[in-house]
Amino acid sequence: MTSTVPAPGTLPRVLGSARAGKTPTAQDSALQAVLLDMDGTLVDTEGFWWDVEVEVFAALGHTLDESWRHVVVGGPMSRSAGFLIEATGADISLAELTVLLNKGFEDRIDHSLPLMPGAARLLAELHQHEIPTALVSASHRRIIDRVLASLGPHHFALTVAGDEVPRTKPHPDPYLTAAAGLGVDPAGCAVVEDTVTGVAAAEAAGCHVVAVPSVAPIAPAARRTVVSSLEEVDLAFLRGLMTQMR
């Protein structure tokens, strides 16, 4: 798939320690960049979002069905919040609910922000070997910036937030935006994702995907490798994956 240039006003946040545009060597020429999801992939926060949703709707007098958790996981706030409003019939606007959910989530990550097993080691390895790396999330910019303080902004050449692209996951826009910002071909990018929604976005952009399921299962497919934990993923694994799929 051919990459598209992001529309004006949709460029990602470029960080000060960026290594974007690094010329690949013979050793890593197949792997041009690594693009990483945030919630449920690097930080163990998918449960945080559901807990906040349950609490907010309880205050509104509604009980959320546990089966809805698979519907809302991994998607943009507008989709998940909109679904819950429609499903419960709650008397609240999407804008009002978005504020409540973001506030509840921020309160939780201020107290605890556990990393997924293997996340810190993988980020450190990519940084050490100067692999262009981007954080690509459906979360809003205000949330990403809070989480970056714990992940280490120096690990990322740029970040893309869900409220900074015309269409967020499952559309390809976030990953096309990240690839364009790094100056690489999406086909040369390895994406690490934990949800079906994120996987769909990465594959629609033409990237190779490593799926690490968090809440709902993800089946293997062409250009997609499924692992049980980030502890199975390192630079050698990603380079080998890209070489095999060329």
Q: Which residues contact 84 (CB under 8 A, 6 or more apart)?
A: 53, 57, 64, 68, 72, 90, 97
Strands 208-211 and 224-226: parallel
Catalytic residue among 39, 107, 110, 185: 39
110 is catalytic: no
91 is catalytic: no
- What are the Cα distances from residue 74, in Å, to 134, 150, 151, 159? 18, 21, 19, 17
Catalytic residue among 28, 37, 173, 194: 37
- What are the Cα distances from residue 20, in Å, to 96, 100, 101, 133? 37, 36, 33, 8
Q: Dihedrals φ, ψ of 189, to 5°?
A: -105, 135
Positions marked catalytic: 37, 39
